[in-house]
Amino acid sequence: MIRILLADDQTLIRAGFRALLDAEPDMQVVGEAGTGRDAVGLALREAPDVVLMDIRMPDGDGLDATRRIMAEPRLAGTRIIILTTFELDDYIAEAVRAGAAGFLLKDTEPAELIRAVRVVHDGDALLSPSVTRRIMAQLAVHSRAAVEPLALEQITAREREVLALVGEGLNNAEIAERLFITPLTAKTHVSRIMSKLMVRDRAQLVVLAYESGLVRPGWSS
């Protein structure tokens, strides 16, 4: 059962999400929060698998709540999906750095929301084409925090290839097809890269791929 926490300051949106997600046989909404502070408190109490986090809330916004949740060792298994009304929300790039696993627009189709929860729960990245690619390109242009050259020296040439493809938004099956390897081998490469570079999830790998120059703004897949 995937345990989900909803964090949004609009009651109607939370009610809609709850009705949609609770109708799924493998999902259960375990709490609702209308402020950032409440989101952190409920996360600590319920230890949800997935948090759907509004970026703009009172009493501690979604960015602050994401940082605090991701900093808690007991919530190491929790994944956060950022919900936003705007495709280029200024806070989203910072949310990635804080540990968010992906992004969705609030007007996302119901089936896509359900799929997103499952994808993130399974440990994959949620790379929504309408949001994440633009955000990462924006991050690369405006937040060029240098990646230490020694960091990439820790991974093999093949792993650099895989990292670049992760940065382009490819999932394991797509990486496997591109490199003529099995999906399991692709998954193993990704896991090893995350371990070597000490990043939490694939979303942060995307950031690293841009900042290291392995992927350039304006790419398309």
109 token code pair: 């189709």
For the chain, what are the domain ranges? Answer: 2-138, 146-211
Q: What is the pLDDT along the chain (221 residues), one digit of tens a residue?
A: 999 999 999 999 999 999 999 999 999 999 999 999 999 999 999 999 999 999 888 888 898 999 999 999 999 889 999 887 765 556 666 777 778 888 888 888 999 899 989 988 887 766 555 555 565 555 555 544 445 555 678 899 999 999 999 888 788 889 999 999 999 999 999 999 999 988 877 777 877 887 777 876 554 44
217 token code pair: 């703004």
CA 89/CA 78 separation, integer angstroms: 23
Beta bridge partners, 52, equal 6, 81
**DSSP type of residue 67:** H
* Fold annotation for 2-138: Rossmann fold (3.40.50)
pLDDT of residue 118: 92
Amino acid 15 reads A
User: What is the residue-wise DSSP string for 6-35?
Assistant: EE-S-HHHHHHHHHHHHTSTTEEEEEEESS
Would you tell me how many other CB atoms lie within 10 Å of the CB of residue 92?
24
Query: 11: buried, middle or exposed (CB in 10 Å: 19+, 13-18, 0-12)?
Result: exposed
Whether CATH 3.40.640.10 fits 146-211: no
Cα 202 to Cα 14, 15, 91, 96, 100: the distances in Å are 27, 30, 19, 10, 10
